[in-house]
Structure 1
Amino acid sequence: MLKARLYDFTLFFTAVAVAFGLGAFTIDKNTFLIALMIYWLFSTLYNHLRIRAQSGAMKFDYGISYSLSFGVFAGPLGLFIFEAIYRFTVYFSRISSKTADESELSDTFYNIGAHVLIYSIGYYLFHLAYPLFEGIPFGFWILMCILALMTTLISYTFLSTAFYILGEIKSLQQAIKFYKDSNNWLDLGKTAFTNGLLLLLLEEQRWEMVVGLFILNYLVSRSFQSKSQSIKNKIERDKFEQMAYTDFLTGIPNRAFMDKKMSELNQTGEKVGIVVADIDKFKLINDSYNHAVGDRVIQHFASTLKNYLSENDYVFRSGGEEFTLILRNRTHSQTIELVERIRHGVESSSVEVEYQSSRHDVSITSSFGLYYFKVNQYTSMEKGYIYADQLLLQSKELGKNKVTFKDELTQQTPVNAM
């Protein structure tokens, strides 16, 4: 940690030497003060939009930097003044809001030193290379793209060195991976063209356009951050809702989701068939094998039921080995036919389980109670479920592996089918 702090202050004092030893004001002081005030104001405003990241013991910020345009415009000395004022503004802001880290002060000196050195190099490279690009179509923008790439490389070189001192990076390959994971071409393009446009406006002293560009960038950045946060919140809400409404063992909707869907379907007035089904002699399976085998049988039963349904149907695990189906968009006879096919499909299939270090094929049968009705003509969804559950009990009493059904629309008495 001591080596890291020495590194931070070495960068800072090197930046002081560059700024005061090589730097000099090449622009009018009033012009500099206006530019300084605008950049300080908006950089401070932008600070809460920056993303703070951490890798091991080292913390750093992600966000577009405007120091390239200011450094090229004001030179190393002007850049040092701007970075010192801006970085200490951020420091005292974090101190007052109690969000500062233990290393906040040394990190502030690192940020000042690193940014002054990086963009002082950008300043000298710009003035050295500009005559070479001046006669080339779009030469200015090509040069800004090159400078954005080079200053970004230098910036990550400084960061990688800090990581190396802290022991977070131990090889060149890790440093390269850190750079690739932390950067992309869109960020470089945004940095190049935003700083390029700001530099052109600064040189023409079009202050209203400089302010306008900063405001536009702020509004766009704020909008993207807001939308990103909204999407993130929605994903998290959807994830928690899915967890709340999904049965952990089978992956299908649970009783809570069934109650929710029944409440929604109560408003439709459509014709539906509610089916309550369970596995015959399930307790015997648990007693003969174990609960792990029982769980595997329940999963197989749930999967079999689901395979017969259309996208408009629903299947829920309503409790233990009991499942509830809501069959839609079918006539009474079509609903009966489907349930019979399901019953036969369960009976003719088997599930492979592992028990006492050997594999076994377990076959099961199931019983069904089907109540067909028009929602809320006489009966609600919740009442229809109770009727279907009573019909299931009749199937059990009549020998299991049966479908017992009733059609409320014709007042047909229960019929039992094999």
Structure 2
Amino acid sequence: MLRLKIFIISIFLISVIVAVASGPIMVDLPVYIKALLLFWLFSTLYTHLNIVVKKGKIKMDYGISYGLAMGLFAGPLGLLLFEIVQRFIVYFNRKMTKTADPDEFLHVFYNIGAFTLNNSIAYYVFTALYPTFSQIPFGFWFLIVLLIIIVSLLSDTYLIIILSITGDIKNRKDAIDFVKSRSVLDMGKTAFSNGLLFIFLLEQRWEMLLGLFILNYIVSRSFLEKSQSIQNKIERDKFKQMAYTDFLTEVYNRAFMDKKMSELNHSGEQIGIIVADIDTFKKINDNYNHAVGDRVIQHFASILQSFLSEDDCLFRSGGEEFTIFLRNRDFKACVDLVDTIQKGVENSPASAEYKNEAISIPYTSSFGLYFYKTNEHLEIKKAYVYADDLLLQSKDQGKNRISVKNGLADLPLSIRYTN
């Protein structure tokens, strides 16, 4: 955009005028060159630690800047030369590594102009206010913090103008939200780092300056690696959850059921395996539609889940079929619970929308419960088949029934039903 280019070039030209008008570099040339090399080395090194955030069509690098310390030490002209050297070396590095944006050259002029102009303003504010602030305790640090606030607000103002030109900020609320997004902790880190660097530059304590740079780099790199590790874990957990979660009901899917079976297979614990499904589900789909059928399946899953404890596991093992692993319960407790679940389903009709009208759909369910202790003689997959067979027997007996068997007591099949 022409307006965007005019704005960026204007900032750059104003910064050059301010820097040149301020007079020569404020320190001896050998001292300045030494400081310039150290600042350039670490500022360039830190570029790969910057966080890149995309705001609409604009990419912004968020990273610590040491321009304030250089500006206070060497004056606006020394600051301008530092920014030119640093930004163009970064630019050529990105061009060689093919990581540069299409408008990277324009961004270079913006960065040089914005950082030089802002920190030049900070230089003049410091020169004017330091005699007053030096009279109060910790006045130097209060003044440094004030300068960082001024520089941050100026930078945000430029970016708001740019984002307004590109259409990414449309109103005052967007602008305020953008300003609020700036981290106060990052501003504090920038303030105290620049303050210490300025003190070390004035005293020419190069070993302390070098140590502070190295410390900042180690802390920043450690923070970035920790953040990336946390982000990677979040992404892994998210993908894992997606792989093991049924998309319709948000309960565990068949893949996770197989995984859980492997974990429990030889655990030696007593477990109640329930296989349940919705009676005459095909009629619901035929009488209404599949969207209503999906809503009934979701309702059935939520009813089942509401009766379970944290140790229990609920899986969608088929279309309208669900499997439950009841843990830390004896046989009687499992039977009582499945009986309660059946009544809960029968007495809680599903709600859905059909032809723009709210409808209530009563339905029933059938259950098969097989209780046993996991062991090497009977795999849990076989126990699951027994539970599934019990469900089929409930269906054969007329649906809306519970069939149970205690694999530990070798009791005969028990059929329970509700009229």
Name 2:200's counterpart in structure 1.
201
Distance in structure 2 (CA, Å) of the matches to 1:32 and 1:380: 77
Cα distance change on mapping 1:82 and 1:355 into 2, 3 Å: closer
The separation in 1 between residues aligned to 2:56 and 2:250, in whole angstroms, is 37
Change (3 A) 1:346 1:138: same
Q: Distance in 2 between matches of 1:168 and 1:331?
A: 62
Q: Which amino acid aligns with 2:148?
A: A
1:240/1:35 CA distance change after superposition, 3 Å: same
Query: What is the total number of aligned residue pairs between the two structures?
Result: 417
What amino acid maps onto 2:271 in structure 1? Answer: V
State how 1:166-315 maps to structure 2 within 5 Å. Answer: 166-169=166-169, 174-181=174-181, 183-315=182-314
CA shift, 1:175, in A, is: 3.7
**For 1:26-84, what per-residue CA distance to the aligned partner results, in whole angstroms no more than 9, with x for missing partners?**
22222111111110000000001112233333333211111001110111121111111
1:410 aligns with 2:409: yes
User: For residues 104 and 359 of structure 1, what CA distance do their matches in structure 2 show?
Assistant: 57
C-alpha distance in structure 1 between counterparts of 2:133 and 2:355, whole Å: 78
Residue type of the alignment partner of 2:111 = N
Partner of 2:104: 104
Counterpart secondary structure, 1:412: coil
Provide the secondary structure at the position in 1 that maps to 2:268.
coil
Distance 1:167 1:239, change over 3 A: closer
Find the aligned partners of 1:20 and 1:404 in 2 and give their Cα distance: 91
> Per the alignment, do residues 356 and 101 of structure 1 end up closer, same or farther by CA in structure 2, a change over 3 Å counting?
closer
Give me the whole-angstrom Cα distance separating, in 1, the residues matched to 2:278 and 2:176: 58
| Residue 324 of structure 1: aligned partner | 323
Q: Distance in 2 between matches of 1:144 and 1:155?
A: 16
The answer to whether the 8 Å contact 1:373/1:379 transfers is no
The CA distance in 1 between the partners of 2:198 and 2:273, in whole Å, is: 70
From the superposition, tell whether residues 171 and 398 of structure 1 become closer, same or farther in structure 2 (CA, over 3 Å): closer
**3-state SS in 1 of match to 2:126:** helix
Alignment partners' CA distance in 1, 2:349 and 2:10: 73
Tell whether the 8 Å contact from 1:368 to 1:404 is kept in structure 2 after alignment.
Answer: yes
Deviates more, 1:290-299 or 1:82-91: 290-299
Alignment deviations for residues 307-342 of structure 1 (CA, whole Å, 9 cap, x no partner): 111111111110011110101111112111111121
Q: Which amino acid aligns with 1:179?
A: V
The structural deviation recorded for 1:159 is 2.6
Q: Does the Cα contact within 8 Å between 1:15 and 1:114 map onto a contact in 2?
A: yes
Q: Which amino acid is 2:248 matched to?
A: L
Contact (CA 8 Å) 1:156, 1:179: kept in 2 or not? yes
* SS of structure 1 residue aligned to 2:317: strand
157-166 or 61-70: which moved more?
Answer: 157-166
Q: Compare 362-371 and 4-13 and name the one that shifted more.
A: 4-13
1:50 and 1:225 map into 2 onto residues whose CA distance is 9
Q: State the 1:216 CA deviation.
A: 1.0
Change (3 A) 1:349 1:2: closer
Instruction: Name the residue aligned to 1:34.
Output: 34
Q: Distance in 2 between matches of 1:365 and 1:261?
A: 28
Alignment RMSD: 1.8
Maintained 8 Å contact 1:20/1:77: yes
Moved more, 163-172 or 190-199: 163-172
Q: CA deviation at 1:353?
A: 3.2
Is the CA contact (8 Å cut-off) linking 2:278 and 2:365 kept in structure 1?
Answer: yes
Distance 1:174 1:78 in 2: 36
- Mapped partners of 2:78, 2:269: distance in 1: 75
Change (3 A) 1:270 1:158: same
Letter in 2 for 1:2: L
Q: Which runs of 5+ in 1 are unaligned?
A: none
Structure 1, 341-350 or 357-366: larger mean CA deviation: 357-366
Residue 10 of structure 2: aligned partner: 10
Q: Are the counterparts in 2 of residues 278 and 367 from structure 1 also a CA contact under 8 Å?
A: yes
Contact 2:276 2:365 in 1 (8 A): yes
- In structure 1, what is the Cα distance between the partners aligned to 2:126 and 2:395? 87
CA contact (8 A) 2:275 2:367 kept: yes
- 2:164 touches 2:170 (CA, 8 Å); kept in 1? yes
Q: State the Cα distance separating 1:166 from its structure 2 match.
A: 4.3
Query: Residue 350 of structure 1 aligns with which residue?
Result: 349
CA offset at residue 165 of structure 1? 4.4
Deviation for aligned residue 1:164: 4.3
Name the CA distance, whole Å, in 2 between partners of 1:33 and 1:254. Answer: 65
* Farther off after superposition, 237-246 or 53-62: 53-62
Q: CA deviation at 1:126?
A: 1.2
Seq. identity, %: 55
